[in-house]
Amino acid sequence: MQGAKVLVVDDSTSVRKVLEKLLSSRGLVVTTSETAEQGLEAVRQNTPHLVIADVVMPGMSGFELCQAIKMQASTKSVPVILISGIINEGVVSQAQQAGAFDVVSKPFTPDDLFPKIERALNAARQSLQAVGEAISTPSYAPIATPSS
């Protein structure tokens, strides 16, 4: 988890500050954006290992941000954790449809958040390793050449 890059996207300054403090205290490198549009731009410029985004924001929602991240080949393996004041079946199913890794309810405690962050970063690490292995491991057997 140490040194992983996390992007926090929330229109609330206080939520961004709290998350930044919590996450950086665990050795994570945190950047923040005030809107989903800024968050998407930040993801394109410097792909994070994890995105934590509020669901309800002016303009683009956290669901839409998540979908946009998942539709880009270069960022589709980045896990997104959504934060919502209301968690019900509708929110959970919309989050799943958008491709979110998990949903955390507001207000949250470090105990709510950190296990989910850890699982998301581990999942991202495993999917990157799988992609790396698929690229570096030849899928054919070397051809034996008869010695002359």
Ranges of H-type helices in the chain: 13-25, 36-45, 62-71, 89-98, 110-136
- Quote the pLDDT of residue 21: 95
Q: Residue 14 above 70 pLDDT? A: yes
Percent of the chain with pLDDT over 90: 75
- Quote the pLDDT of residue 130: 67
3-state secondary structure of 145: coil
Q: Residue 51 above 90 pLDDT? A: yes
Helix, strand, coil shares, percent, the chain, to 5: 45, 15, 35
As a whole number, the mean pLDDT across the chain is: 88
